[in-house]
Structure 1
Amino acid sequence: MGFAIFFVAIMNYVLVAIATMSRRAKSIGVHKCSGASAINIFSMFLFETGIVVLMSVIVALFIIFNTKDLIEDLLSVQLSSLFTLETLWVPMLIVFVLFIVAGVLPGRLFSRIPVTQVFRRYTDGKKGWKRSLLFVQFMGVSFVMGILLVSLMQYHHLINSDMGIRTPGLVEAETWMSPEEAENMVNDLRRQPMVENATRSMHGVLGEYWTRGLIDNSGKRIETLMYNPCDKNYAETMGITIIEGKDMQNEGDVLVNEEVVRLMKWTDGAVGKRLNDFDKAGTIVGVFRNVRNTSFLYKQFPVALVYSHNTSHTFDVRLKQPYDESLKKLNEYMEQVHSTKALEFIPIDTMLKEIYRNVYRFRNSVWIASTFILLIVVMGLIGYVNDETQRRSKEIAIRKVNGAEASTILRLLSRDILYVAVPSVLMGIVVSYFTGKAWLDQFAETIDMNALYFVGTALVIIALIVVCVVVRAWRIANENPVKSIKVE
């Protein structure tokens, strides 16, 4: 994303500089008549670029230090560690490259303007240069917008997909105590007015549980089984749906998820069976819907819940509404009555967001990059349209004298832009599609990469480009043609 912003910004500056060529050609001719050489003109533009780069660095530093918390959250590092003596050469090199690229290209073009331009109007529009730069910018913005689409949809998918538990109102805390103390704690929690239900287990609902091999009937290990010893009302409290059999009642009763049934190939049902080579577990009494305890970042594991009286580490509470107020009251109660137990309940929704924090940061980074690139491209497009309308003002006036409507002029200018915009946007969108697919490979569960979403994004970008052209060209398209011809 950083490279995309950097590259598009350079191309935009060069585009704006070249777009002013027709207006500044006469002043360059005057300088040359006064004795300035091509090197003097080139140096003048390098100095001009240096001033602009210096001002941009100052503004950038101001923004960086005023958004310190946001940057540190996105990068997960202290801002001070980014600007050390060992790393300072990186931003300095970037600024130097920016200065060279943004200064050399326009400087060379301006230094080659002939001295005769002081006597006549400079008509070389450098259309090839400007269209090439526009092509790069349109491709860059469409690429970033495509990546933004993928990251937004994937984050929404991760956060809102069914985890197999009912997360609203579910909070959790962890500590170590004896089984007797844990049982008393759960009973006390159930008596509180803000609590709907409470349970205990050995492991938090999100994360890895104890593991052992899942052994098929031939004695072969087919997968890693995750199992969590818990209280008998665990499934009820967590909002886990039992789709076959019943809930746990007796010590050692087992609930297994759908993945266990699938891997064991129990087509006749799992109730009444036992897990092979698992002496601590008793008979399977029910099957529950798959729970994504390791989140959607990883594959679905086979999971077993085993009823045990000795669970004493994790406490889960189902709160009554309003959830935020109930959570506050619950933690205040724990601080007052059970301060020595160090139990602070945290919403499962908050834990889930923390698990997907890297995805959240990437999404926000793309949001920011998309905003800046879009602004840069719009500014470059506006500069291009202003230059084109000024350079072609006589042509437009003659067309209007010959009967052309304002809509015809707008279509003419829009068509010229679309010749560049359509292929560049399509290219950027295609690259973003395959880049997005590569990024999604890190997830076990991903969105459907429907090509129509990307086609829609491309159409929106093209429509935005056309709107910018129409808005900026509206005045010249409706202007009295006599005025333009008189100026000529």
Structure 2
Amino acid sequence: MFLNYLKIAWRSLLKSKVYTLLNILGLAIGLSCFILISLYVLDELSYDRYHAKADRIYRINSDIRFGDSEMHMAETPDVMGAILKKDYPQVEEYVRLYTNSGSQHLKKGDGYLNEAYVAHADSSFFRVFSFTPLAGDLDKALSSPNSVVLTESMALKYFGTTEVVGRPLQNIRGQVFDITAVIEDMPANGHFRFDFIFSMDNFPYEWGSYLSHNFHTYLLLKEGVGAEDFQPRLDQYIVDHAMPRISQMLNVKTLAELEASGNSLAYSLTPLTEIHLYSDRSSELSPSGNIQYVYIFSAVALFILLIACVNFMNLATARSAGRAREVGIRKVLGSRRGQLVVQFLTEATLMALLAMIIALVLVVMVLPYFNELAAKSLSMELIRQPYFLLFLLMLPFGVGLLAGSYPAFFLSAFRPIQVLKGTLTMGAKGGDFRNVLVVFQFATSIILIIGTMVVYRQLAYIQTKNLGFDKEQVLVVENTWVLENRAAAFKNEVLQMAGVQSGTYSGFLPINGSYRNNQSFSKEAVMNSTSGFNMQRWQIDYDYLNTLGMELVAGRNFSSAFGGDSSAVIINETTAQMLGYEDPIGKKIYQVGDYATGAVNGLEIIGVVRNFHFESMHQQIGPLCMVLNNHSHMASFKVDAAKIPALLSGIEDKWEDMAQGMPFSYRFLDDDFTQMYRAEQQVGQITLIFTALAIVVACLGLFGLSTFIAERRAKEIGIRKVLGASVEGLVQLLSKEFLRLVLIAFLIASPLAWWAMHTWLQDFAYRIDLSWWIFAGAGILALIIALATVSVQALKAATANPVKNLRTE
């Protein structure tokens, strides 16, 4: 019996080739989009789950409010992990990671290579996190000073083999490290990924600080202990260990008194498996994902699949008149309704299976391009996983049942007597349902169009907004600290080159990822809970403001003509407003020099710089000050764009002469700025592509539906033409119903799209307004698309020879 169903289904599909092609193509596009986005979503949800103890690992977060400044950090004091393990039996183990030391320059042959993915870690690192060893004993790998663990790719890069345990590795400062283990490369789906892990024991740091937050600290809690259970211990840690130091510095005795003054300190735990999608704190170890985008892409995938299923329903019900006699004859010959339902569901499932085969081929073809677009490394290996393979096997059957259910029950309900007598009327019910489906398709498409327009407008706003500095044609030469006493000579040599307008040394640039330095300051010489505040403190030279095009709104820049500028400071407008001085020039602020005693150093305000964005536009511009210091961490040069190729060659030659075998590394500031919004760009590009595909799928259905309606009304059109109807009038007649449905879809989609994009924009401190013309433009675009799709068949029907259609009457 089942083979008979398949045979009849196959013949039915071959009989209506256009109908079959439209349905299979629409389903294939919908399924391929669904599979691609499913791979993306599953990868996002899989972060850090490969650790054997992932369900018990938590990271400690810090939330600090001091003055009018708030900090939400992923870092803690160096002492915190050890104290929590000692005081509370719920802590099985702790581990700290330190990454603020920057990159390492490691010797290979006669030169040095710059390695950015490095960290210092406690010896407990491999007892908390799970990585596959290739050589060495991970339990003891970081237990001695000057030890280092390499990944497989780094061992091969430096030594050509993984059998390197016991061999030395030297950095540019002459330190020699003992390689104690080699591990497999860390998986890409982790919130940190290092190539070198150095022992914490050999790291120079002023240990024992309770108020300096510089370490990522992770706790391995015992079985049955969760974040909520442990939270009271974190609160008690503040009372027992942090408050005595805060009291010395701010002259407050209790946590309640600190909070009453408008300040606060709080610690919390984030589960390891939630860090990637749910945390976006300062100093994250890698760019975070966003659970909102997972929801958005999941919804897009589901909607595209539903649009494809809607196409099937629409086309199948539209063909109902053509298959009515088939149903009537089958019923007269003894077929029961259940058998007809199975027959139609078999046809739908067969088409879904064929569409799935095509969809898998499409996924294999486009996956490399999708990976490049989404900055992922997805592979078809995931499909081979049992759970996903089962999902793919069940998907076409689920789609077949979903897409074929209504047509199956609709077609099988025809009465044979009415059908065979020719008295069957389709009634309004089937047409009304088809209209609902068309409205759903275009409402979804309009929402996607509006979403894409808003994302791209926000990105354009970010790119064109006045940032308060000039990011164009700024060449950044990295790692200039290796030049040591040759740094000034290097800068002067570059400044002499044609096309170089100015240059500066600094440790800070106004982009995300540039090293940050939050410090405590006071309005008064004696710091207390009301006069103290936190802000960024940047070290710059005389040429920093000029090179980056920053504008002073009051006072002056640092100058070698003023001998006292070493104890001077330039603040931004946010700081000036926070201080409350009508004229801050000449006033002093006081920097905390010793957190233990609260001792401060006075700095005279000599200038106020116009606010500039030194973090992404997700955050408000916070307080910032700049002090004079020839910090040669990196050099930035304002250059002539037309001379960049020649300049790069010349600068590289100077570098090779002065940098002792260090590779020349550079970047452009505008590229760094663009990278800050990489996630939003990916969302925009992916949404644009899938919006276009959703519209294509919807148009396939609309094209097929208009084709069948034109066929059903062929004789009516012939009569109208004979009676003098114009081609334009007939096209309007056939098109106006669809255009009415698109207008209804627009009215439904607009408020939903407004709510969704308003919610998305709230994540930006600086954002566009949702102008009415965005919605109007999306509606007009949808109307044009629908009109263009329907008009093809409407024009064909209106220009057909009426004699041919009326010949049989």
AA aligned to 2:463 is I
Q: 1:139 to 1:147 in 2, by over 3 A?
A: same
Q: Which residue of 2 aligns with 1:198?
A: 503
- 409, 414, 418: which one pairs with 1:113? 414
Q: Which residue of 2 aligns with 1:230?
A: 540
Q: Which residue of 2 aligns with 1:261?
A: 576
State the 1:447 CA deviation.
0.8
Matches within 5 A, 1:173-252: 173-175=477-479, 176-177=481-482, 180-193=485-498, 195-207=500-512, 209-213=516-520, 215-216=522-523, 220=530, 224-249=534-559, 250-252=565-567
Q: Which residue of 2 aligns with 1:474?
A: 795
Q: As a proportion of its length, which structure holds more strand?
A: 2
- Rounded to whole Å, the distance in 2 between the matches of 1:153 and 1:332 is 39
State the 1:274 CA deviation.
2.4
- Rounded to whole Å, the distance in 1 between the matches of 2:511 and 2:647 is 19
AA aligned to 1:271 is I
Q: Is 1:275–2:589 an aligned residue pair?
A: yes
- 458, 467, 480: which one pairs with 1:154? 458
State the 1:179 CA deviation.
5.5
- Rounded to whole Å, the distance in 2 between the matches of 1:130 and 1:160 is 45
Q: Per-residue displacement from partner, 1:236-285 (whole Å, max 9, x unpaired)?
A: 11121223222211434322222222222333x33322224465673322
State the 1:367 CA deviation.
0.5
Matches within 5 A, 1:78-93: 78-80=377-379, 82-83=382-383, 84-93=385-394
- Rounded to whole Å, the distance in 1 between the matches of 2:533 and 2:343 is 71
Matches within 5 A, 1:88-487: 88-116=389-417, 117=419, 120=422, 123-124=425-426, 126-175=430-479, 176-177=481-482, 180-193=485-498, 195-207=500-512, 209-213=516-520, 215-216=522-523, 220=530, 224-249=534-559, 250-267=565-582, 269-277=583-591, 282-309=603-630, 311-322=631-642, 324-326=644-646, 328-329=648-649, 332-333=652-653, 336-337=656-657, 338=659, 340-487=661-808
Q: 1:245 to 1:20 in 2, by over 3 A?
A: same
Whether the aligned pair in 2 keeps the contact of 1:26 and 1:122 (CA below 8 Å) is: no
- Rounded to whole Å, the distance in 2 between the matches of 1:90 and 1:425 is 34
SS at match of 1:135: helix
SS at match of 1:375: helix
Whether the aligned pair in 2 keeps the contact of 1:254 and 1:281 (CA below 8 Å) is: no
Q: Per-residue displacement from partner, 1:352-394 (whole Å, max 9, x unpaired)?
A: 1211111011101110111111101111111121122222223
Q: Which moved more, 1:241-250 or 1:438-447?
A: 241-250
SS at match of 2:468: coil
Whether the aligned pair in 1 keeps the contact of 2:590 and 2:602 (CA below 8 Å) is: no
- Rounded to whole Å, the distance in 2 between the matches of 1:280 and 1:179 is 28
Whether the aligned pair in 1 keeps the contact of 2:548 and 2:638 (CA below 8 Å) is: yes
SS at match of 1:212: strand
AA aligned to 2:685 is N
AA aligned to 1:204 is L
State the 1:478 CA deviation.
3.2
- Rounded to whole Å, the distance in 2 between the matches of 1:352 and 1:336 is 28
- Rounded to whole Å, the distance in 1 between the matches of 2:508 and 2:709 is 67
SS at match of 2:324: helix
Q: 1:271 to 1:419 in 2, by over 3 A?
A: same
Q: 1:41 to 1:86 in 2, by over 3 A?
A: closer
Q: Per-residue displacement from partner, 1:205-225 (whole Å, max 9, x unpaired)?
A: 313631124544696257531
State the 1:335 CA deviation.
6.3
Q: Per-residue displacement from partner, 1:171-218 (whole Å, max 9, x unpaired)?
A: 224324475343333233323445332211122331363112454469
Q: 1:31 to 1:479 in 2, by over 3 A?
A: same
Q: 1:143 to 1:323 in 2, by over 3 A?
A: farther
Cα-Cα RMSD: 2.7
- Rounded to whole Å, the distance in 2 between the matches of 1:480 and 1:385 is 19
Q: Per-residue displacement from partner, 1:427-461 (whole Å, max 9, x unpaired)?
A: 11221111001011111111111123212221221
- 307, 310, 334: which one pairs with 1:11? 310
Whether the aligned pair in 2 keeps the contact of 1:224 and 1:301 (CA below 8 Å) is: no
AA aligned to 1:180 is N
Q: 1:27 to 1:295 in 2, by over 3 A?
A: same
Q: Which moved more, 1:241-250 or 1:219-228?
A: 219-228
AA aligned to 1:124 is M
Structure 1 portions without partners, runs of 5+: none
- Rounded to whole Å, the distance in 2 between the matches of 1:118 and 1:353 is 68
Q: Which residue of 1 aligns with 2:150?
A: none
Q: As a proportion of its length, which structure holds more helix?
A: 1
Instruction: Report percent identity of matched pairs.
Output: 21
SS at match of 1:351: helix
| Highest RCO, 1 vs 2 (Cα 8 Å, sep ≥ 6) | 1
- Rounded to whole Å, the distance in 1 between the matches of 2:602 and 2:398 is 66
State the 1:143 CA deviation.
0.9
Q: Which moved more, 1:271-280 or 1:14-23?
A: 271-280
- Rounded to whole Å, the distance in 1 between the matches of 2:357 and 2:517 is 54
SS at match of 2:765: coil
SS at match of 2:346: helix
SS at match of 1:239: coil
SS at match of 1:340: coil
Aligned pair count? Answer: 486
Whether the aligned pair in 2 keeps the contact of 1:414 and 1:470 (CA below 8 Å) is: yes
Whether the aligned pair in 2 keeps the contact of 1:334 and 1:344 (CA below 8 Å) is: no
Whether the aligned pair in 2 keeps the contact of 1:194 and 1:330 (CA below 8 Å) is: no
Q: Which moved more, 1:134-143 or 1:151-160?
A: 151-160
